[in-house]
Amino acid sequence: MHLRTAVLIAFAVGLLALWLALYRADSYAAWVALGAALFGAALVRFYPKERDAENAALHVTDAAQGLGAGTTPNVAAAVAAGEVHAATLLEVTMDSMREAVVIIDNAMRIVALNNSARAAFRQGGAGAISPRRLSDLTRNPAIYSAFAAAVARGERAEVKVETDGGGDRRVYDLHVAPLRQREVVYGSDVRGAVGVFFDITRLERLERVRQEFLSNVSHELRTPLTSIITFAETLQDGALEKEEDARRFVQIIGRNAGRMRSLIEDIMELSAIESGALGLEVREARLHPLVRETFNALASKAEACGVTLVNEVGPGASVRADPRRLEQVLLNLVDNAIKFSRRGGTVVVRHERGERDLITVEDTGEGISAEHLPRIFERFYRVDRARSRELGGTGLGLAIVKHLVRAHGGEVSVRSAVNEGTTFQIELPREEPAAGGQAYVSTTRVETPSQLPEGARPAT
């Protein structure tokens, strides 16, 4: 016999003996005491269960908080002792789950759903009343069919479903299992079904980006590789004997091989940045010499294109950055500006000091139409694909710029209009230099746009 039951029986026997003794002494007082006891029992019996549930939930919450504070409350012992109802513990556990859980009966009526399910499927505000039928919760045929199969045939179901509540598209991996009972009623032991919705939206987005990346890489490599193979076969078929043609074909092969090398180098650079850790030697770097070195590296290209390079950065200007990585950013931006500037155009680099350091690269080129601006920093995105390939672009330069700037804790943006030129602006945080002016190494995790929630992606 359970100890608690034995104690209750002994207590009841003692009360009975006490009442009999009181009855012999004074029957009126005995009957008054019995009436008071019955009244107290009635109060306990009809005491609001909601208050008990609230107290039990509070007890479970306190226990969880105690666990976080370093104590080790025994929840199982609390349930066994009756301090916490098992049903309340289950409800609190379900409501703390990240996965949406929906439970229905064999008439497709909703029995229970947790907070995640309410957030995923609600049509109104947070206080919306739970729907009575599954069809009131969602009209998605895949969801309804999975639950119906579990109820009608007792089958487990796994299906990928999509929801579009309020414009927020989510993808779920739905697992539905039948709820069975011991007794068979009307030829079936299925009482209902439970469905768990695992949110795989981020995984789906990453997979889509991966597939797009592989497709773009294959396409970008195929074009120069086809040219190399074609002209190599032409040389093998006798073109070597024609010196002028042979020289031209070799130049074409060399140019396409250079494109492939540039593409592979950019892919490896971007992969290193997006792999998770990027070492930055951040220190106070003088900006004017960095811009001057960038112009020197691109001087011959600018001269061939008839573009003038202007360094308007003050001699004493400095920024908090890794000099090598910042020079890489400037090389990409100035190189792009030269490529897409008209002959006789100008490329100007400026610096402004405020709460943040602002570095702008401005050109007087053809400009970019508004529909292309939101996607200009995407990998392999080109405004004019044919011209970009002709000028030797890989389509990864601006993506590298964006990730390098973000690794410094900054942002990069673009302003442009057709026939009015383009301006790229880099914002870098202003921080106090490390003690003694020494450089320090920062390891920064760089989140790719696909790894971020849609609402948290920077507008570019």
Mean pLDDT of 63-68: 46
Rg of the chain over Cα atoms, rounded to whole angstroms, equals 36
Q: What percentage of the chain reaches a pLDDT higher than 70?
A: 67
Separation in Å, CA 290 to CA 239, 323, 337: 47, 7, 17
Instruction: Classify residue 386 as left (phi > 0), alpha (psi -120 to 50) or beta.
Output: alpha
Q: What pLDDT, on a 0 to 100 scale, did the predictor assign at position 292?
A: 93
Separation of alpha carbons 93 and 186, rounded Å: 33
Domains and CATH numbers, the chain: 3-80 (no CATH), 97-199 (3.30.450.20), 205-275 (1.10.287.130), 278-456 (3.30.565.10)
- When pLDDT is averaged across residues 194-219 and rounded to a whole number, the result is 81
Instruction: Look up residue 277 and give its two tokens.
Output: 């850790």
Of the ranges 117-121, 147-151, 391-395, the best mean pLDDT one: 147-151
Higher-confidence position of 8 and 106: 106
- Which ranges constitute the DSSP H helices of 82-200? 86-95, 115-121, 134-137, 141-153
Alpha helices, DSSP H only, in 237-340? 243-274, 287-305, 323-339
| Inter-residue contact 189 to 150 (CB < 8 Å) | no
pLDDT computed for residue 127 by the predictor: 44
Neighbours of 259 (CB within 10 A): 21
For 72-94, give the DSSP string: ---HHHHHHTTSS-HHHHHHHHH
pLDDT-based confidence at 196, cuts 50/70/90? very high
Taking alpha carbons only, the member of 260, 259, 252 closest to residue 234 is 252
pLDDT classification of 360: cutoffs 50, 70, 90: very high
Binned at pLDDT 50, 70 and 90, residue 70 comes out as very low
Are 278 and 311 in contact by the 8 Å Cβ rule? The answer is: no
- pLDDT number for residue 235: 84
Confidence check: pLDDT of 140 > 90: no
List 442's β-bridge partners, or say none.
Answer: 280
pLDDT at 257: 86
Of 103-107, 131-135, 368-372, 396-400, the one with minimum mean pLDDT is 131-135
pLDDT, mean of residues 84-90? 67
Q: What is the pLDDT of residues 245-302, one digit of tens each?
A: 888 888 888 888 887 887 787 777 777 777 755 677 888 999 999 999 999 988 988 9
Torsion of CA 361, 362, 365, 369, to 10 degrees: 90
Question: Which amino acid belongs to residue 44?
Answer: V
Residue 84 has a pLDDT of 60
Chain segment 291-348, per-residue pLDDT in tens: 999 999 889 889 988 999 999 999 889 999 989 889 989 998 999 899 888 889 999 9
167 pLDDT more than 60: yes
Instruction: Report the range of poorest mean pLDDT among 22-26, 107-111, 192-196.
Output: 22-26
pLDDT band at 361; cut points 50, 70, 90: very high
Q: What string of DSSP letters covers 352-370?
A: EESSEEEEEEEE-S----G
Match 């207590």 to its residue by tokens: 11
3-state secondary structure of 267: helix
pLDDT given at position 442: 40
Tokens of 152: 């009608």
Q: Region 344-372: what's the mean pLDDT?
A: 89
Segment 100-124 shows an average pLDDT of: 81
Residue in the structure block whose two tokens are 């997006």:
274
pLDDT score of 352:
92
Mean pLDDT, residues 181-191 taken together? 61
Query: Is the pTM here over 0.85, yes or no?
Result: no
- Tell me 459's DSSP state: P
- Dihedral angle, C-alpha 363, 366, 367, 370, nearest 10 °: 180
Classify 328 as helix, strand or coil.
Answer: helix
Reading the block at residue 273, the tokens are 């940045």
451, pLDDT greater than 60: no
Residue 99 is predicted with a pLDDT of 87
